[in-house]
Amino acid sequence: MNETRRSKALSALVSEPSVEAAARASGIGRSFFFDLLRDAEFKAELDKARAEAFAAGLAALKAAAGKAAATMVELLDSSNQNARRLAAVSVLTLGLKAVEVEDFERRLSRLEEILEKGQNGRWVDMGEDEIVRLKRS
């Protein structure tokens, strides 16, 4: 199989939303793509490439998060009442979501800790007036 075409097809499949779009963008026939997608090795390579592309996108979003937060805080002082309202709603919504995620992570960590200590089948105080019974498997 032509490695240049294979590599070009891989790049197109990672960057385009469909096989048809990848075929158009790369100038390679659709049947070549469908042949590649039946190859387990290529499919694994494609999955890895897509995961890497997704991770790169997440890294870019994480890097921009501080700037986005600063913009939202700036908008709280905007002269435009609608911009202030939308910024306030966004800040509150995202703040509450962050608290929920932190709480979930704390509770999950506590459960994992309990399970690792072998306290299965006992009543366990999770804190904040919450008691759970861990059942035996």
Q: What is the pLDDT of residues 98-129, one digit of tens each?
A: 999 999 999 999 888 877 776 555 655 666 55
9 neighbors 19 (Cβ within 8 angstroms): no
Strands 123-127, 130-133: pairing is antiparallel
**C-alpha torsion 124→127→128→129, nearest 10:** 20
The residue extents of the domains of the chain are 1-63
Rounded Cα gap, residues 30 and 36, in angstroms = 10
> pTM score > 0.85 for this model?
no
> Which of 55, 23, 54 lies closest to 37 in space, CA to CA?
23
The pLDDT tens digits for 68-103 are 999 999 999 999 999 999 999 999 999 999 999 999
